[in-house]
Amino acid sequence: MQRIDFLAVDLGATSGRTMLATFDGQAVSMRELTRFRNNMIPLGGHLFWDIAALYHEILLGLGKAAAEGASLKSIGIDTWGCDFAFFGKDGQLLGLPYCYRDSHTDGAMDRFFKKMPAADIYRRTGIQFMDFNSIFQIDTLKRNGCTALEAADKILFIPDALIYMLTGQSICEYTVASTSQMLNPLTKDLDPDILAALGIGRERFGRMTFPGTVAGRLSAQVQAATGLPAVDVVAVAGHDTASAVAAVPARDKGYAYLSCGTWSLLGKETTEAIITEESFRENFTNEGGIEGTTRFLKNICGLWIFEQCRKEFTDVPEDVGSLAALCCTTGFDSLIDPDAPCFSHPVSMTGAITEYCRRTGQMPPQSPAEYCRCIFRSLALRYRQVTDILDRLTGERTEVLHVIGGGTRNRFLMQYTANAVGIPVISGPAECTALGNVLLQLKAAGLAPDLDTMRRIAAASVETVTYMPEDKDEWEEAYIRFLNIRNNYK
């Protein structure tokens, strides 16, 4: 068949990229057009996203595709979840979107539980409780008298907001909406009772749209700015993890997936949401997937801890691979719980680790090598703990763990993970999110009609590395220590 071009915009919480993809009928090949930082902006005592800068970077990527003569079939955008932007009746952006790491939602859950009990919210949504979920962000902004919220005609999640800026069409894409803790997985729409408790009408959100649907076309202004024609913009799986999971190159059942980046998300695809007393107690989440699937998973504070420590290190290698290699240091074995609240947004991440170790009776790290070893071994052991819980909740034993995302480039973390979890780890691809974005565009074009086809195309498009478990006894002892340390932290 004739080769067809697509463009994927993949935005993470620390960086973004535009990827030009070509489909030859069997596999997808991709190359990076542009890469850029996504900076949190400290302003007026809060943290914001510079969505105008992200939009500008998207235009630059589109312009580069046009300059290279790419004949784009469509464009897709995926981003992180939970955050949103406000637009007025005239279509204009009403200020910068708040960043989910802003501390204004500290204590927000307990405040909202006075309006609606936690058990009722979980029964309606099946979503894990995190204080930055959209439900708590909106309640906090309303409580604080946010003028942008009061004036907003449209409340659009970040990928939907960027689609609106490109096309003028307002949608509410299903997978990213599911991260809000306002979507009911049974009705597949925003829950009216939750919206009522927030005092927000359903009409302020876009029309519910499912992955693999054409949302609109580039506006005349965008066409003029980029040199592209009226290309379709597809609502892919707007939440980056949903796009990534769509591209897991799995050839069999019995697997779990770990999307490993700034956040780690560990879970399984299920046919229906799992909403039980135990899943509520363990704070597992049921996020929207593609083809009617549910992503039953747990959020884990991933490489955020390493990224923040890295900023504080001096006289160490600049490239991440060489820095990660420091974790091979032996003879030091302090451990932390990566999900302890003290690591959410500390002033100093190394200081937070030091304090955690002191409070749990451990010797704190003294060098970058010891910090790296502490972080990566602790992450691997947390993955083991969550995998055990996941197997219990789903009633299915995990036989293999597929790891996707930027963390797959860290071969030390991948080997540690195989050692800790005790099963084979299949690592790759690193750009799984962008690949899933493209696969959903293929679906919209009628070239990948179902999930099985997408998985076959994914497997034909990427190379993977398999890590086998090593040092079983050592890691079993470390796991027992990890659980004791975690339980003793106060």
Distance CA 95, CA 428 (A): 38
Encoded tokens for 383: 């993955």
Distance CA 34, CA 164 (A): 22
> What does residue 458 show for φ and ψ, rounded to 5 degrees?
-60, -45
Distance CA 209, CA 225 (A): 27
Contact (Cβ atoms closer than 8 angstroms) between residue 49 and residue 12: no
Q: Tell me how crowded residue 410 is: count the other CB atoms within 10 A of its CB.
A: 26
Distance CA 235, CA 233 (A): 7
- Strand-pairing partners, residue 75, are 7, 233
Please give the C-alpha separations between residue 43 and each of 131, 200, 345, in angstroms, as whole numbers: 21, 26, 16
Q: Tell me how crowded residue 477 is: count the other CB atoms within 10 A of its CB.
A: 12
- The catalytically annotated residue of 240, 315, 319, 388 is 240
191 is catalytic: no
Cis previous bond, 424, omega within 30: no
> What does residue 135 show for φ and ψ, rounded to 5 degrees?
-55, -40
Enzyme catalytic residues: 240
